[in-house]
Structure 1
Amino acid sequence: MEENHSNNPTETSDKPQDTIAQKKHAAMIERLSSLHQSRLQQAISRKSDSSDLPAFESSKSFTDRFYESKTSIETRINRCRLATDSESKANLKSDLDKLSISISELEKLVAENSYFLPSYEVWTSLKTISDLKETLESVNYELLPKKKFSFRNKSTAAKKDQGNVVTTENENSGFDSALAEKCSTQVRDSPGFRNKEGVVLVKSFGSSKEGDFTLSDLNSCEVRVTGCFRALYIHRLRNCRVYVGPVMGSNLIEQVGDCLFMMASHQMMIHHAKKTDFYLRVRSRPIIEDCNSVRFAPYLLCYEGIDKDLKDSSLDEETGNWANVDDFKWLRAVQSPNWSILPEEERVSAVNISNLETPSDDI
């Protein structure tokens, strides 16, 4: 009896301790819940504040936005095609020009988000954009037959000088017009180098870290571009050597031959390339289509400040993806015969483009 009685104080003394522990546990859970809700609210506020560009957190959110824009463009194209009243016909040229801009913005959307998208998703999106361009060009030809519409830049005598950039257009660029008709990617109106032969072309983006750049219709040229920028578009280059600093989005390359490219980017897409070497640093697997005799090696470019530029562009880490090429025209399990690893004994040494002085006969 005494033994049982002596245990009672102990049993009763444990109960207050249990109650205190439970209260502490409940308070801790409440604090964690409040902290979680606070962080969620901060994340929502950050998203609301950064409304300049859409922030996609998943492939699905990008796809939803992409196909919403695609459907809108298709609807507007059909509206132009079916226009019957005089007011709609009067605004037809303006409406078609706006559609061209919308397609360009959709292409830019892919470039800016390609770093996290699967290769197949990027390729499918680009094919959709190509189909939209062809449809719009067909509608332009049907409705405005006197002036054939084209996504390629029109020839003009005007020359625009923007620092180190000169853009010119020339009908006699020396490139195969039949091959040019196969071009499925728009030659953009962004700053760049166009219609040049046998010269050294330089451009420095400094610390701006924004903007697109275009290389088009170059023959036997050397191009040196330093600094970070958003996207690079390359069309119809022959016998050129192109050295480019980090690109924060995509490199889109089409119709090149007998060239050397040394570039870093989040996404690399190559169409119609022949007998060309690519020295790359890329976050995702490079994509090729309709290419042959193309070879790949690691990035070897040097210039003052490149380490910071690579870090700012999230390209400071060597992923080894330069050697993991996806050939979308080769679906067999064996190695594609259209590309290969460039043998080490045939690779160029590191290239330093810190000296940006241009020859007197250049821009």
Structure 2
Amino acid sequence: MDNQQALPIATDDISTDPTVDPTTQRKHAAMIERLSNLHQSRVSNKSNTKDPSFESTQSFLLVFTNSKQGIESSLAQIQQIPDSNPNQDLKADLERISLSISDLEKLVAENSYFLPPYEVRSSLKTISDLKQTLDSVTSKVKPRKKFSFKNKPAKKSETANVLADTANKNEQEHQSGYKVTDSPGFRSKENEILVKEFKSSEVGEYVLSDLTNCEVRLKGCFRTLFINRLQNCKIYVGPVLGSILIEEVEGCLFVVASHQIRIHHAKRSDFYLRCRSRPIIEQSVGVRFAPYCLSYDGIESDLKESNLYDDTGNWANVDDFQWLRAVQSPNWSILPENEHIDTVKF
């Protein structure tokens, strides 16, 4: 987000605990410093994305590679600590690494509209590998208890229930690729009409999450939109300056405009799009595409401000990253004109 300030990197008692050997102390201190530097670099990079000079593949890859190497180094470092201090609590360190991976994925999404398709796919593959490595490291340093049937299951304490709920929430956020609790938005609503008007393009990220049978109207410009776990919803959105990420939606209708649009795990949904780059779908089925059809007072100026006034026709040039054959992917299609909705006005 534009006004985001650097967050302090917390330390724990290991750096001052006299019972821990000096080698472990040095390793842990080095890892904390590396995570802090990585976070500072991430915040700085978000500011730099406003500068058009960042829109080059070479400069993006430099930032991406530096961030990736920092995460890999932290993961390697954290694996060595349990050997010398198996009782150390590494939860905070693992959460910081998870956040860094999520931020790296956001970096790709927000800049993929000018990147070659190969670099986008390669970057996403790298992020997927980092997530798998993090899962492996987490399992190693925090092994899960094996499930077994018991005649009388033990009653969980209130504290255990809270910890379980928190773990489930963190797991959902990790799988979705971003922390949906960090940004403003509409969450956990049913059977409602949800309206938001943005007065300035300086608004950063916005989130739509866990909505059922809702209609959402977002008017004006903002920078990034994250959509997660929607069912039977209608989403009407003014121009988004950066990217739109859509995950786990079913039976929905979207009318959205953005520089880059990525769609994951979508089923039986229609997308009316305007975008500068080719839309990307992954692990989706039964999705159909048509041109953008939204109208409200001031939308022309919003589209011009967002450099989305001209329809490039990319809404019909969909890349299915799960389909590598030369023939048309069966997972998406062009929506027949006789099934188009009328222009949406509000």
Q: Decide whether aligned partners of structure 1 residues 338 and 248 sit closer, same or farther in structure 2, where only a CA change above 3 A counts.
A: same
In structure 2, distance between residues paired with 1:310 and 1:293 = 29
* Structure 2 SS opposite 1:213: strand
* Structure 1 SS opposite 2:202: coil
User: Which of 96, 99, 117 is the matching residue for 1:98?
Assistant: 96
Alignment match, 1:334: 327
2:255 is equivalent to residue 262 of structure 1: yes
Q: Decide whether aligned partners of structure 1 residues 249 and 51 sit closer, same or farther in structure 2, where only a CA change above 3 A counts.
A: closer
2:178 is equivalent to residue 186 of structure 1: yes
Deviation at 1:310, TM superposition (A): 1.2
In structure 2, distance between residues paired with 1:86 and 1:122 = 39
In structure 1, distance between residues paired with 2:80 and 2:194 = 46
In structure 1, distance between residues paired with 2:64 and 2:221 = 26
Alignment match, 1:216: 209
> Is 2:289–2:334's contact at 8 Å kept on the other side of the alignment?
yes
In structure 2, distance between residues paired with 1:57 and 1:335 = 31
Alignment match, 1:251: 244
> Is 1:187–1:216's contact at 8 Å kept on the other side of the alignment?
no
Moved more, 99-108 or 317-326: 99-108
In structure 2, distance between residues paired with 1:300 and 1:95 = 46
Structure 1 vs Structure 2: percent identity of aligned residues? 58
Q: Decide whether aligned partners of structure 1 residues 186 and 141 sit closer, same or farther in structure 2, where only a CA change above 3 A counts.
A: farther
Return the letter of the residue paired with 1:267. Q
> Is 1:183–1:254's contact at 8 Å kept on the other side of the alignment?
no
* Structure 2 SS opposite 1:254: strand
Alignment match, 2:47: 52
In structure 2, distance between residues paired with 1:282 and 1:193 = 24
Return the letter of the residue paired with 1:100. S
Alignment of 1:338-353 (within 5 A): 338-353=331-346
Alignment match, 2:309: 316
In structure 1, distance between residues paired with 2:46 and 2:270 = 39
Output the TM-score relative to the length of structure 1: 0.69
Deviation at 1:182, TM superposition (A): 10
Moved more, 63-72 or 271-280: 63-72
* Structure 2 SS opposite 1:317: coil
> Is 1:280–1:322's contact at 8 Å kept on the other side of the alignment?
yes
In structure 1, distance between residues paired with 2:87 and 2:132 = 21
* Structure 2 SS opposite 1:140: helix
Alignment match, 2:66: 68
In structure 1, distance between residues paired with 2:83 and 2:327 = 58
Q: Decide whether aligned partners of structure 1 residues 114 and 141 sit closer, same or farther in structure 2, where only a CA change above 3 A counts.
A: same
Deviations 1:7-50 (A, max 9, x none): xxxxxxxxxxxxxxxxxxxxxxxxxxxxxxxxxxxxxxxxxxx9
Return the letter of the residue paired with 2:67. S
* Structure 2 SS opposite 1:188: coil
In structure 2, distance between residues paired with 1:127 and 1:291 = 18
Deviations 1:210-233 (A, max 9, x none): 311121221111111112122111
2:296 is equivalent to residue 303 of structure 1: yes
> Is 2:209–2:228's contact at 8 Å kept on the other side of the alignment?
yes
Alignment match, 2:229: 236
In structure 1, distance between residues paired with 2:228 and 2:276 = 22
Deviations 1:153-212 (A, max 9, x none): xx99xxxxxxxxxxxx9x89xxxx9xx799453342221222221111122221143311
Q: Decide whether aligned partners of structure 1 residues 120 and 215 sit closer, same or farther in structure 2, where only a CA change above 3 A counts.
A: farther
Deviation at 1:263, TM superposition (A): 0.3
Indicate the RMSD between aligned Cα atoms, in angstroms: 3.0
Unpaired runs of 5+ in structure 1? Answer: 1-49, 148-154, 157-168, 354-363
Alignment match, 1:9: none
Output the TM-score relative to the length of structure 2: 0.72
Deviation at 1:251, TM superposition (A): 1.1
Deviations 1:306-358 (A, max 9, x none): 112111111111100001111122222222221111111111111113xxxxx
Return the letter of the residue paired with 2:228. H
Q: Decide whether aligned partners of structure 1 residues 228 and 89 sit closer, same or farther in structure 2, where only a CA change above 3 A counts.
A: farther
Return the letter of the residue paired with 1:202. V
Deviations 1:108-150 (A, max 9, x none): 2212212211233223322322332333244334434589xxx
> Is 1:114–1:249's contact at 8 Å kept on the other side of the alignment?
no
Alignment match, 2:273: 280
* Structure 2 SS opposite 1:52: helix
Alignment match, 1:134: 132
User: When the two structures are aligned, how many residues end up with a matched partner?
Assistant: 279
Moved more, 71-80 or 98-107: 98-107
Alignment match, 2:188: 195
Moved more, 319-328 or 192-201: 192-201
Highest CA radius of gyration, 1 or 2?
A: 1
User: Which of 108, 111, 114 is the matching residue for 1:113?
Assistant: 111
Alignment match, 2:14: none
> Is 2:293–2:344's contact at 8 Å kept on the other side of the alignment?
yes
In structure 2, distance between residues paired with 1:87 and 1:143 = 11
